[in-house]
Structure 1
Amino acid sequence: MTARVLVVDDNPSNVKLLAARLAAEYFDVLTAANGAEALSVCAAGECDIVLLDVMMPGMNGFEVCRRLKADPDTAHIPVVMVTALDQPSDRLMGLEAGADDFLVKPIDETALLARVKSLARLRATLDDLRSRAARAAKLGISGAACLSQGEEPSGRILVVDDRRSACEAIVNALKPHYEMELEPDAAEALTEGAAGGYDLLIVSLGLSGYDGLRLCSQFRSIEATRQIPILAVAEPEDRARVLRCLELGVNDYILRPVERAELVARVRTQMRRKRYVDCLRQNVEASLEMAVVDALTGLHNRRFFDGVLPSMLEEAKRKGRPVSLIMFDIDHFKTVNDLHGHEAGDRLLQGLATRIKSLIRRSDIFCRLSGDEFVILMPDTRVDVGAKVAERVRAGVAGAPFFIGKNRSIAATISIGLAESGRCGADILREADKALYRSKEGGRNRVYFDVASPQAAPRAPGFRVVRAG
């Protein structure tokens, strides 16, 4: 996976070396000689990943990273510190500034490419979610405000390690901040991870009875854990396995002996990003839901109906089961708008939708097609049963007035047409529309359907059924 990588260093030789290594792997490389230039490039949205030298005149790398992470427009850009400083305190300072990782000079080319490729995958996911959320916002579909990557999130963590002393040290370091669970058995961890609603998985690559890399791969292949970040714990000499785990989709790693402060900082980074990604994903899902929901009534809209009807009819045909469809509109609805105003008409539509939802079955699908025109899809339902539902709906609407504001209420009735797929196949909507027209012709406030066989005509008290012909 390629990406646009910004190399920030005041030493031209270092810039050329990094640029050549990255370009050889088909990354697009941009360069900046100081912190101010780097901030300008990032603010313009011209890069996907930043390789940031620490020791620069004027504004050092730590300050540049802090500014990037403090700005909502650039906080999502992954940052890797490139430095000759290799003390735990230096790593901690960078992680607390928001850096995703450290590469120590002289840079190992394999480690550089593994980390950049891993971050490129992360950035691609973020870009996709951000783009969808932005498109939804332009359409007026606003989601929840996402947690800033600078805020402190809570969460649940599962630690998978069969070395008791090592895992207890991890648990004790994180317990003041997070809800911790420990699982030494890899097979149990897979089950627990899928069912437990965790926000982070910490996996030892040195499990004695199981391949830690395989466990990470399995977590990534299971739907329930695919999006949960993974922090691998490895031995310093286990370099090849560390690089391999990044290729498998592990988000970050830490080497033993585990520095308590570095562990907390790396976990905090993963938790913040998880919350941010979750919020973006929820906003995208909400926008998709809103695209098929009528804003006024909260019912499914015409787009949803047009999508679900063909698949429902196809499934019904394959299984030999009927589908019934109720189509109705409000009698003389235009008069309501003309006499009482459109706000009163909207209140009537909302009240009617709420009342009818309480009268139909859980399995029925209630949609607003347009204006005052509605449909109710009833799977696994023959027309005689559908007629009973339709009459219950008609009587429920006519049985009590609707509040339209300012202590005013109005009575309303509906005319209903009914059809069954077993009689008209894919033309069920057209047949229901024809039946609705007959209902209006017959005097309104009634249910009409074409009774093709005697058993289809219910004789319950109060039913308004008009036979064809």
Structure 2
Amino acid sequence: MAQKILIADDSPTIVEMLKFALSSEGYEVVTACDGVEAIEMVYKEYPDLILLDILMPKMNGYQVCRLIKGDKNTTSIPVIMLTGQDQPKDKFWGLETGADDFIVKDFESMSLFESIEKLLKETENVQSNKSLSKKETVSLDSILSRVNDLLDKRLFQTTIMNVINRIAQTEDKCEDILREILNVLTRVVNYHVGMILLKENEESSHLTVYVNQAVNETYVNAMVEKTKNDAITHLGYSIDKTNIRITTFNQAGNSSSKDVPYKPKSYISLPLVAHKAVIGIISLSSSDDNMFGGEMNDTLIVVINESSIVINNVMLREEIKRLAITDGLTKCYNHRHFQEIIANEFNRCKRYKSLFALLIIDIDHFKNVNDTYGHMAGDSVLREVSACLKKSIRDVDFAARYGGEEFALIFPATNLIGAFQTADRIRQSIADMTFSELPPEKQITISIGVSSYPEILAQTQYELIDRTDQALYRAKHGGRNKVELAV
């Protein structure tokens, strides 16, 4: 059976010329002289390909193309725009409305036939089932109704995109953006609990689960369980209790935990994709059956596609900020950020009559480690000591690489005695460690200087650092593997 091509052009000369050329090549040709007739012929004839002029009466080629590509029944029909408009913006708009190719009318016939042959071959499998489609007789009122429906749909989608872009402009923290995106979803999609799962960063094996409202643990576990396979498929991660952190957003107007069933009855999970890479997963659940599908899914996909870029951008910004304040070797905060933290903590405690403790730690005989076992082994020792320090402190505390083999710890709301006890526990933990790049019998020890403001009187944070450093000096020269208090 000959393949059918629709020519839509208001120039009889162009139509006859193309009809003759295409018929000579064995194609069946149908024609239309304006945009409305073109739409009628599309639904009446279901052509294999459309040659579409831009400037036509009643409805221009851009509008016709947008309508054809916006209908799932005709979206796979390839469209070649033929036009005398040769400005870059014309080609841009033509391709953005969904055209598969854009050819200026002073074309060589060979280039047109090459494009026709290429597009027909590419869509051969898709179009092989078109005979099953029900052909329609489409009235002008029906066409106008479809145009209005398409415009309404595009306007709705554009509004969603604008709302999400406004979120990106007004919020700069990842958690705030995620909260607002879940809030947008509550306004356009019927669901009870929303969950966004993200990998924390490139150097972390942890996944963070953000839930849009406070629900009981059983419900969250049920959603996480449903997301397990998606996490493996899309992120390459297996979810278990040891590698997930759950952050809950309490949103006004949402159901309380007692209103949410223990098991979600409807569930949908979709990947967040940015720059062809999966950056996370968004999952929605409902207490009602069969809530997701059809037009709701179309809306959900628009939100997710736009949100993916916004989330990816804020994650990149936060990753850049994290790298700027992090020591590359130990993954502790770097010296510059330590100075910012201690300045803020000192001023806060001075203003609000609070207290904090400072520890400065030095690895004993570290030069001998480098000289005896090599710098690779020395770097490994620094990483393992750093890991022990971070494991030994609270979430509210700060660990920084002060310089070389020295580390600094800041403990908010901690007095001198409490800081001393923690320091001695850390000292003992390091002394008991075995190190991966050193012989098992090789012991690594640390010396620690401890101070606390305002128990140790100091006019500035620099004076407090100096007093703590003096305590460290006494520990080093008093035999090492010791903790000394500042005076």
Kindly name which structure, 1 or 2, has the bigger radius of gyration based on alpha carbons: 2
The TM-score with structure 1 as length reference comes to 0.45
The TM-score with structure 2 as length reference comes to 0.44
